[in-house]
Amino acid sequence: MSTKADTVVKKGYNVEEIRAQFPILKELVNGKPLVYFDNAATSQKPRRVIKAESAYYATINANVHRGVHTLSTKATEAQEAARETIRKHINAKHAHEVIFTSGTTAGINLAAMSLGQLLLKKGDEVVISGMEHHSNIVPWQLACEWHGAKLKLIPITDSGEWDLKQVPFSDKTRILAISHVSNTLGTINPVKELIAEARKRGIITVVDGAQAIAHLNVDVQDLGCDLYAFSGHKAYGPTGTGVLYGREELLERMPPWQGGGEMIDTVTLEKSTWARLPFKFEAGTPHIAGIIGLGEAIRWMEDYDFAFAKASAEQCKSAFAAHEHLLLEHASKELLTIDGLRIIGTAKEKVGVISFVIDGVHHYDLGTLLDQQGIAVRTGHHCTQPLMDHFGVSGTTRASFACFNTIAEVDAMVDGVKKGVNMLR
């Protein structure tokens, strides 16, 4: 679904060329063309990624690092090639700083459990913000409970931004755990600035990059963070995959959080010793097919983002991000013409995520009516209940855009919202 306007949204950006690579976009939902605006929950997958994952099962399908036979060698080489691709993409110094996980949640739990053992004692403090996903709240709550530490909060403003004048750092702060981008509001947070301040104080920094990896150019060395977690499935890759980047010196100090095969050097009944990085943190058989698919997703993003950026008259750094931003601007303008509609989260810097509420309309009912028109949005609290409490709402309707979405699809959603409002009020 596209219009002539979509072809000129950005010079050099061909949205039809992008859309042709996503098989699911040809599907009908409730007899209507699929309009997929739930990318912040999980993005759709291009054909290259689907083929890469399938090819592993069809032609290799062997375990990694544990065999001398040909298929095991091929599997190992493919997985480690993906690790190197990701290292380059996020600009880590070493491939062994890239730890494979099942997703951002697993990465943050690894960080919380391991750093808790390494750093936290009674009376220490962990600082998070008021806009965190539950996956960057609950693990730190658990770590604080186990070690007698306290959880402190960076308050947020009514526009959905950090209140940097009230960051609760103290001489007891040991860890700062923050999101790069809000999954509910789309806010791009000034993580680099806050990380720099934390480092001056000797505070370890952990960044939830789940919503940033598909929309921003993530450079972990430039950010200066100690740990950075993200998921594959939010960046056009397979579900059940993710990465925890960690600075080598810190990872060497951190204890493992899971025990089993692969993560050991030696095992006796009395004591075990740990394998070198990154395997120290990769117990058990990994999601090999998914990791290969994730590597292909990163390569796919780089190929097309760079190609369209290079073709652009403005030579924009990220063609995908520029396209998504124009969708966001158009959606914001058109949605605000609806009586009683309020956008939740109006930060100056946002990715292509828009959350809104409408007077007299429940978000769940609206989401159901949009689905009947083939339009997929997310409704509810988006795993950010404290954030919902801050804004005094039970939940929102959230539309989140990707590189394959179009102006015509935004217009279809706006028309669908208008129809829904007329039916529900």
- Residues with a catalytic annotation lie at 383
DSSP 32-101: EE-EE-BTTT-----HHHHHHHHHHHHHT---SSS--SHHHHHHHHHHHHHHHHHHHHHT-S-GGGEEEE
Please choose, from the candidates 375, 374, 382, the residue with its C-alpha nearest in 3D space to the C-alpha of residue 357: 382
Pairwise CA distance, residues 102 & 211, whole Å:
16
- Residue 264 is encoded by which pair of tokens? 């050991």
Pairwise CA distance, residues 53 & 288, whole Å:
9
Pairwise CA distance, residues 146 & 236, whole Å:
36
Burial readout 218-228 (b: 16 or more C-beta within 10 A, e: otherwise): bebeebebbbb
Contact present, 320 and 305 (Cβ < 8 Å): yes
Residue spans of beta strands (DSSP E) within 345-400:
353-358, 375-376, 378-380, 396-400
Give me Rg for the CA atoms of the chain: 22
Cβ neighbours of residue 252 under 8 Å, at least 6 residues apart? Answer: 277
Contact present, 137 and 112 (Cβ < 8 Å): no
- Residue 425 is encoded by which pair of tokens? 């009020």
Pairwise CA distance, residues 100 & 86, whole Å:
10
With vertex at residue 218, the alpha carbon angle to CA 49 and CA 202, rounded to the nearest 5 degrees, is 135
With vertex at residue 140, the alpha carbon angle to CA 287 and CA 138, rounded to the nearest 5 degrees, is 75
Work out whether strand 98-101 and strand 125-129 pair parallel, antiparallel, or are unpaired: unpaired
Pairwise CA distance, residues 397 & 327, whole Å:
17
Backbone angles phi, psi at 254, to 5 degrees: -70, 135
Q: Reply yes or no: is the peptide bond before residue 46 cis, omega within 30 of 0.
A: no
Find the helix or strand (DSSP H, E) in which 258 lies.
none
